[in-house]
A and B are shown apart, each in its own frame.
Chain A
Amino acid sequence: MTDLPPPFDDWFAARGWSIHPHQAEMLERAEAPSLLLIAPTGGGKTLAGFLPTLAELAEGGHAGLHTLYVSPLKALASDIRRNLTRPVEEMGLPVRIEDRTGDTSYSVKRRQRADPPHILLTTPESLALMLSYEDAPRIFAGLRRIVVDEIHALAESKRGDQLMLALSRLNALVPGLRRVGLSATVEDPEGIARFLARNPDPCEIVHADPGPEPDISMLEVAAPPPWAGGGGRYAIPAVLDQVRAHRTTLIFHNTRAQAEIFFHELWLQNEDALPIGIHHGSLSREQRARTEAAMVGGELRAIVCTGSLDLGIDWGDVDLVIQVGAPKNVKRLVQRIGRANHRYNAPSKALLVPANRFEVVECVAALQAVRERDLDGDPRGPGPRDVLCQHILIRAASGPFDAGDLFAEVTSAGAYAGLTRAQFDACLDFVATGGYALRAYDRWQRLVEADGLWRLRDPRGAARIRQNVGTIMDTDLLKVRLRNRRAGVPLGEVEEGFAATLSPGDTFLIGGRIVRYEGLKEMVVEVSPKPDKPPRIATFMGTKFATSTQLSHRILSMFRQDDWPELPPATRQWLHLQRERSRLPEADRILVESFPFLDRHCTCIYGFAGRNAMQTLGLLVTQRMEAAGLGPLGFVSTDYATLVWGLEEVRDPAPLFDGDDLRDAFETWLGGNAVMKRTFKQSAVIAGLVDRQTRGQRKSGKQATFSSDILYDTLRRYDPDHLLLDITREEALKGLVDFGRIEEMLARTAGRIDHVRARRPTPLAAPLFLEAGRVPVEGAASEKLLADEAERLMEGAGLQITAEDERRWRAPG
């Protein structure tokens, strides 16, 4: 084992600590060009990442930047600075540590560029911005190591792609640069390693001891879970008992809206007034900071939270994690469980609370997967090209470049290793000329080539490029503030789309309180406190996770069992009843049930492709039913099934799933879809076609800005082969549309369809009637609805719109 330099030994000894084996291993392999550490939460990951840096710097004599640390969270950067500064000061090491994020002041940033610290803690966006300066080669001149924290989280988003492109640039500036990745437990360490390493360098992987088996089970609740829905409200008394019995409990929810509702209900039943807080990404920074501080100070017994607490900051004394709602994804569940007992080698304790009867099955399947350490995840696709376009712009802002050199750099990033020169050139052409079939911008090209080097035509363009750096999209959020308290802290944020559905007087939940919507002022939602009215629910943007493919398959194999002694009686009987009345879905066949209900003909399709794909399937299938004259009226989707209701009975479902036809219908449907427009908007901003809108710009409400939807429609009409449409399509398929899962379903079932005709709803289908999120089928389309509505309004109460009218107008029936 490598010896620690003396000050470290003394420091560890003085505290009675000893170095973990994986920390020692990181020191030993410090010279590896790429090194990935996989360690459970609380495994001393960060220190493991920094020990080699501190050891190298302990000698003194290093001038300039030595180690760059990148994390996905600003808060993590400043947290680490504090945690690292203490041992450095106590050991008297000659090391300067600073952080640099969007919150760092301009003067400090300037000084950091002129005189960088030894260790700089930053985010992917701040790093990209630093690389856009002409003096980047000088800033990074002495750099030896880069530490990427929470790399498993970064790898799931475009921020990670941007970071890896930045690393490719850094490696070109400083050839000997070593890369270190710190990751939580993941299903595919090699995948993360490929993502981290400079292609084709190898990447060594250090596995920390995964620690003892987690203590994980289902929460025992007296009442059976409801048939449908996602709140978990039925379990609140049992959850409160658990909170009472533990020091600190984290109560995870899958969506922000569910967290808000649960928090609200929890307080209504919290007779002991246990101090319980709430934390999610839509709350204001100030409010989250207050909750975090109360947590660190040990003032809270529980926090109701969402994925915003999935990462990072060490909050000590959590001894129980409760997951409300099916975990959807085993890997995330394992990472969440790790939040409990943030101490190495202590078992984490966790309880699952299925929110409805079907989720009981899913929770049991997830428990089995956790015990077998069988994690899930989708393989990473190729690096997104909109991020590449932005990288080319950033490169141009920092100075002239050779296209061949840049191509070589870019393809050294694992995610872009498969990028062809033609694809790269198309991105460069788009950035330089717009890439349109109509060559309209010869005079105004953004980049021009001279003497074999590409450069900005107008150097002033660099400032604009810097303003648009980043891949995070938050422009659709509006701040929520209490009226008449302009200086007061904002309560949080809601989606602009949600704000648009509000009328004065409407109530909604935010930050655990009910507020009344008063109006919109300068793009701020103004509210007043209103604790006495039942709230409407805020529809926060928070991602709706789909149940993973692997978990879906586990559920389907559970269905093959003759009996289910591992399930609670209510759920067990339910499955037996389904087998008796119809049949249970199977992995290699699609089960379709038809039955009449309330004057409607209903069709239930069990595809087990996850919520997003089942939603897409619903849209496609109803479109075909419409064409076949079956008069579909609407549908609703869950992770496992889609229920369609309409005027005519489906007698032969097979044609609805014909693969080639379905693909054709999909292509047609996709083009005009709102998902595409939303995706286009994001890619257009990232690729630099349109500017990122800041809040300040939106506040001024200038009429000159027009919707990116218009650009999308124009491109589709006049330049359908344009690069950005191609990128949009690729991105949309990965995300909300999730057609890949439909393809997976079609492949595994290969046209084998079981059609069961029943006289009434089957046991498995019945809960679907209670699901929220019904989608009406647009047979008549908006024009007709609008015409009817306009007529009614004009005939209404003179020409004045009363509040009552307004309400009916918004949601008639």
Chain B
Amino acid sequence: MTAYAFDLRGAALSMLPSGGVWWPDAGTLIVSDLHLCKSERVARRSGQMLPPYETRDTLTRLDADIAATRPGRVVCLGDSFDDDAARAGCDPAEAEWIARMQEGRDWVWIAGNHDPAPEGLGGRTAPEMGLGPLVLRHIAEPGAAGEMSGHYHPKARLSVRGRRLSRPCLLFDAARAILPAYGTYTGGLDWTSPVLAGLMAEGACAILTGPCPCAVPLPRRASA
């Protein structure tokens, strides 16, 4: 699998085509914002009935990443479920699937704003966790160093030879990385958004998800 290698506070990381981050030295696979069971929540709250296949699709990709990396630990960086009720209403077959992936490895659900208490589906939960030189949490904190987070769903938009591309991306600078959303039904926040500009230092880069992840400089100004 083609991955893009980068370094954060001495941790040698690589972003997989899916947007997950593989940390070989720690045997850890990190994914963020799975938003499982989103269609169920949307139907419950708004009456819209989206194609109910996003959980299956997200788990299929996660399963493939686990098979490829064989991690000892999987950390989900929060918003793993679209809300706590969605987790409770999780399809039994999909709950079993998650249990199967958890077998023989440490599985950590970090709390997110959508799922403040992600309990009841195996693994352990934590508000945040330290791992080697890094701290893993859902929402980036200003001034943090060596931090991996999610929450913002950064998305790159650019034109290459007149062709418009729009892809979820990982942002990183010397101090932090913000992961793209891993879930199938997730929108994105434009990578030039002021809130992201406020968090990322000059010289930050974006790694674009896709079959061959590649890095480009994070543009600093608002673009169309």
Binding site for B on A (CB under 8 A): 433-434, 436, 438, 440-441, 443-444, 446, 457-458, 461, 464, 497, 499-503, 517, 519-521, 525, 689-691, 701-707, 710-711, 714-715, 717-719, 722, 776, 782-783, 785-787, 789-791, 793-794, 798-801, 806, 809-813
A-B contact pairs, 30 of them (CB 8 A): A434-B50, A434-B51, A434-B52, A438-B52, A440-B40, A441-B49, A464-B47, A500-B224, A501-B159, A517-B224, A519-B224, A521-B222, A525-B224, A702-B187, A704-B187, A706-B185, A707-B166, A710-B184, A710-B185, A714-B53, A718-B56, A782-B165, A783-B211, A786-B165, A789-B160, A790-B216, A793-B217, A794-B215, A811-B162, A812-B161
- Please name the residue on chain A nearest to B162 by beta carbon: A811
Contact B188 A441, beta carbon cutoff 8 Å: no
Contact A786 B184, beta carbon cutoff 8 Å: no
A326–chain B nearest beta-carbon distance, Å? 27
Choose, from B7-15, B23-31, B150-158, the stretch at the interface: B150-158
- Please name the residue on chain B nearest to A810 by beta carbon: B159
Residues of A within 8 A of B166 (CB): 707
Q: In the complex, A335 Cα to B186 Cα: how many Å? A: 48
Contact B164 A500, beta carbon cutoff 8 Å: yes
B161–chain A nearest beta-carbon distance, Å? 6
Indicate if B43 sits at the interface (CB-CB under 8 A): yes
Contact B43 A444, beta carbon cutoff 8 Å: yes
Partner of A444, one of B44, B51, B208, B220: B44
Chain B, interface residues (CB within 8 Å), range? 35 or more
Q: In the complex, A5 Cα to B127 Cα: how many Å? A: 84
B54–chain A nearest beta-carbon distance, Å? 6
Per the 8 Å Cβ criterion, residues 177-198 of B in contact with A are: 184-190, 193
Contact B51 A718, beta carbon cutoff 8 Å: yes
Contact A785 B53, beta carbon cutoff 8 Å: no
Contact B47 A444, beta carbon cutoff 8 Å: yes
Contact B223 A520, beta carbon cutoff 8 Å: yes
B189–chain A nearest beta-carbon distance, Å? 4
Contact B210 A801, beta carbon cutoff 8 Å: no
Q: In the complex, A602 Cα to B50 Cα: how many Å? A: 47
Contact A436 B52, beta carbon cutoff 8 Å: yes
Which 4 pairs, one residue from A and one from B, show the smallest C-beta to C-beta distance?
A434-B49, A440-B52, A706-B187, A444-B43
Residues of B within 8 A of A789 (CB): 160-161, 216
Q: In the complex, A787 Cα to B152 Cα: how many Å? A: 25
- Please name the residue on chain A nearest to B56 by beta carbon: A718
Residues of B within 8 A of A691 (CB): 48
- Residue picked from A461, A706, A717, A791, most chain B C-beta under 10 Å: A706
Contact B48 A703, beta carbon cutoff 8 Å: no
Given known contacts A703-B152, A786-B214, A464 and B46 CB-to-CB distance under 8 angstroms: yes
Contact A719 B51, beta carbon cutoff 8 Å: yes
Contact A499 B224, beta carbon cutoff 8 Å: yes
Residues of A within 8 A of B72 (CB): none
Contact B51 A436, beta carbon cutoff 8 Å: yes
Contact B217 A794, beta carbon cutoff 8 Å: yes
Contact A707 B224, beta carbon cutoff 8 Å: no
B153–chain A nearest beta-carbon distance, Å? 5
Q: In the complex, A706 Cα to B48 Cα: how many Å? A: 14
Indicate if B205 sits at the interface (CB-CB under 8 A): yes
Given known contacts A434-B52, A801-B219, A461 and B40 CB-to-CB distance under 8 angstroms: no
Contact B53 A690, beta carbon cutoff 8 Å: no
B2–chain A nearest beta-carbon distance, Å? 10
Contact A438 B53, beta carbon cutoff 8 Å: yes
Residues of A within 8 A of B222 (CB): 519-521
Contact A689 B224, beta carbon cutoff 8 Å: no
Per the 8 Å Cβ criterion, residues 58-113 of B in contact with A are: 91
Q: In the complex, A446 Cα to B50 Cα: how many Å? A: 12
Q: In the complex, A810 Cα to B222 Cα: how many Å? A: 16
Q: In the complex, A434 Cα to B44 Cα: how many Å? A: 13
B108–chain A nearest beta-carbon distance, Å? 25
- Please name the residue on chain A nearest to B151 by beta carbon: A703
A772–chain B nearest beta-carbon distance, Å? 13
B171–chain A nearest beta-carbon distance, Å? 13
Residues of A within 8 A of B202 (CB): 799
Given known contacts A782-B163, A786-B165, A812-B161, A722 and B215 CB-to-CB distance under 8 angstroms: no
B20–chain A nearest beta-carbon distance, Å? 18
Residues of B within 8 A of A705 (CB): 187
Contact A717 B57, beta carbon cutoff 8 Å: yes
Q: In the complex, A503 Cα to B52 Cα: how many Å? A: 39
Contact B216 A793, beta carbon cutoff 8 Å: yes
Contact B51 A707, beta carbon cutoff 8 Å: no
Residues of B within 8 A of A500 (CB): 157, 159, 164, 224
Q: In the complex, A717 Cα to B184 Cα: how many Å? A: 12
Given known contacts A800-B217, A809-B160, A811-B162, A703 and B188 CB-to-CB distance under 8 angstroms: yes
Residues of B within 8 A of A519 (CB): 222-224
Q: In the complex, A812 Cα to B161 Cα: how many Å? A: 6
Q: In the complex, A515 Cα to B151 Cα: how many Å? A: 38
Contact B57 A801, beta carbon cutoff 8 Å: no
Residues of A within 8 A of B205 (CB): 794, 799
Q: In the complex, A793 Cα to B152 Cα: how many Å? A: 25
Indicate if B212 sits at the interface (CB-CB under 8 A): yes
Given known contacts A704-B187, A718-B57, A785 and B161 CB-to-CB distance under 8 angstroms: yes
Partner of B54, one of A433, A525, A714, A786: A714
Residues of A within 8 A of B132 (CB): none
Q: In the complex, A701 Cα to B152 Cα: how many Å? A: 13
Q: In the complex, A33 Cα to B102 Cα: how many Å? A: 70
Residues of B within 8 A of A782 (CB): 160, 163, 165
Contact A811 B212, beta carbon cutoff 8 Å: no
Given known contacts A703-B153, A706-B185, A801 and B159 CB-to-CB distance under 8 angstroms: no
B168–chain A nearest beta-carbon distance, Å? 10
Residues of B within 8 A of A786 (CB): 160, 165, 208, 210, 212, 214
B159–chain A nearest beta-carbon distance, Å? 5
Indicate if B39 sits at the interface (CB-CB under 8 A): yes
A392–chain B nearest beta-carbon distance, Å? 14
- Please name the residue on chain A nearest to B47 by beta carbon: A461
Contact B215 A790, beta carbon cutoff 8 Å: yes
Contact A719 B53, beta carbon cutoff 8 Å: yes
B130–chain A nearest beta-carbon distance, Å? 28
- Please name the residue on chain B nearest to A525 by beta carbon: B224
Given known contacts A464-B47, A799-B217, A810 and B162 CB-to-CB distance under 8 angstroms: yes
Residues of A within 8 A of B214 (CB): 786-787, 790-791
Q: In the complex, A461 Cα to B47 Cα: how many Å? A: 7
Given known contacts A444-B44, A703-B188, A783 and B210 CB-to-CB distance under 8 angstroms: yes
Q: In the complex, A715 Cα to B220 Cα: how many Å? A: 36
Residues of B within 8 A of A434 (CB): 49-52
Contact A707 B187, beta carbon cutoff 8 Å: yes
Q: In the complex, A717 Cα to B57 Cα: how many Å? A: 9
Q: In the complex, A499 Cα to B222 Cα: how many Å? A: 13
Given known contacts A441-B43, A458-B47, A799-B203, A787 and B212 CB-to-CB distance under 8 angstroms: yes
Q: In the complex, A447 Cα to B117 Cα: how many Å? A: 33
B41–chain A nearest beta-carbon distance, Å? 10
